[in-house]
């Protein structure tokens, strides 16, 4: 049996950088709970993690950039979709720590100078928008760029799987330890934890809740169709367990993740996610993002309507951030009916 203190001591041994505001708040949402007719809902505010408008990747970058710095890196190479929250927070972290930042972003339907991409430019990152899809081809392109930077005398570190996904799982094992302590403080014992994830975030939540023998069951809502996602999540959890020297095995059957709320595809809004975003904003004054958390909340709302929970159940919704992306979706979200 591993205690919370023991788990935190193991996590503390992993190289880290101090870039965020932790612990993030756990906030009860009584008006949202009332609007949905129960269950009792709390939101874990990873959007309040401090760096560059916050988000879950700040917690992850605490370890991935910690890994880079421990290896003597002077440059960070990353890349994803053009409105990537991860890349925005990477650029900010590099500025905070005096590292060079190279972002290679996939050209897509939101490659506009707004939202996260606007902030990437503001942070002064070396940005190139490339005609490659978000996925394996872009990851290979990042590795090739790193080799070029090495030939120029730099010491690059590439944020890429499987290492970054395993370190993300370490990060969210730490997040679960925070939730464990916050539940004690609030006098609650949640039944479920909902969040948007198809990788390291859910891997850490599953690992941490199992290690600490918690009642809550993590439930992930995929923002993108990802082939082999169950292997990806369980492998990341088990890699994190190895890094933390924890003798435990996470199976694919431990992973609960839904593709049912993606809609047309990654980064495309659904009517349900827009409705969920507006409901949370108008009941709690909390802003979700349209790509990840609004779709996860749409799933939770749908599950409540399906009577999957008792009204006395307690749900924690982990808000992974992404707020700046809202501004790239102004046309889809702006309601001019009052004009």
Q: How far apart are CA 232 and CA 304, in angstroms?
A: 28
Query: Catalytic residue at 84?
Result: yes
How far is it, in rounded angstroms, from Cα 31 to Cα 37?
A: 10
**CA–CA dist 68, 6 (Å, integer):** 25
Any idea what the Cα angle at residue 316 is, between residues 312 and 319, rounded to 5°? 150
Which of these is catalytic: 84, 164, 197, 239? 84
Sheet holding 75-78, edge to edge: 126-130, 100-106, 75-78, 156-158
CA–CA distance, 292 with 273 (Å, rounded to integer): 9
- Kind and range of the H or E element at 195? strand 192-196
Torsion of CA 59, 61, 66, 68, to 10 degrees: 170
Residue positions annotated with a catalytic role:
84
């Amino acid at each position: 049996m591993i205690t919370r203190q023991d788990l935190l001591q193991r996590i503390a041994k992993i190289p880290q950088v101090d870039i965020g505001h932790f612990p993030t708040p756990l906030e009860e949402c009584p008006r949202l709970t009332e609007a949905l007719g129960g269950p009792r809902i709390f939101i874990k505010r990873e959007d309040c993690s401090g760096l560059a408008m916050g988000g879950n990747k700040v917690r992850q970058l605490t370890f991935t950039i910690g890994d880079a710095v421990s290896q003597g890196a002077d440059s960070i190479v990353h890349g994803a979709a053009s409105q990537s929250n991860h890349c925005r927070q990477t650029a900010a972290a590099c500025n905070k720590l005096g590292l060079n930042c190279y972002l290679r972003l996939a050209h897509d339907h939101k490659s506009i100078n707004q939202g996260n991409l606007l902030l990437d430019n503001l942070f002064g990152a070396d940005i190139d928008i490339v005609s490659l899809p978000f996925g394996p081809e872009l990851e290979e392109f990042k590795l090739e760029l790193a080799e070029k930077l090495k030939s120029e005398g730099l010491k690059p570190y590439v944020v890429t799987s499987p290492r970054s996904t395993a370190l993300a799982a370490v990060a969210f094992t730490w997040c679960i330890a925070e939730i464990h302590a916050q539940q004690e403080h609030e006098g609650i014992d949640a039944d479920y934890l909902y969040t948007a994830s198809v990788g390291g975030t859910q891997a850490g939540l599953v690992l941490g809740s199992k290690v600490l023998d918690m009642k809550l069951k993590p439930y992930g809502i995929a923002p993108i169709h990802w082939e082999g996602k169950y292997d990806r999540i369980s492998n990341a959890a088990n890699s994190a367990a190895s890094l933390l020297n924890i003798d435990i095995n996470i199976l694919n059957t431990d992973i609960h993740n839904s593709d049912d709320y993606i809609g047309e595809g990654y980064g495309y809004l659904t009517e349900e996610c827009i409705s969920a975003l507006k409901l949370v904003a108008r009941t709690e004054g909390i802003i979700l993002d349209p790509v990840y958390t609004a779709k996860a909340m749409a799933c939770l709302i749908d599950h409540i309507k399906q009577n999957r929970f008792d009204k006395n159940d307690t749900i924690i919704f982990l808000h992974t951030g992404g707020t700046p992306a809202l501004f790239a979706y102004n046309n889809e979200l702006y309601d001019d009916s009052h004009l």
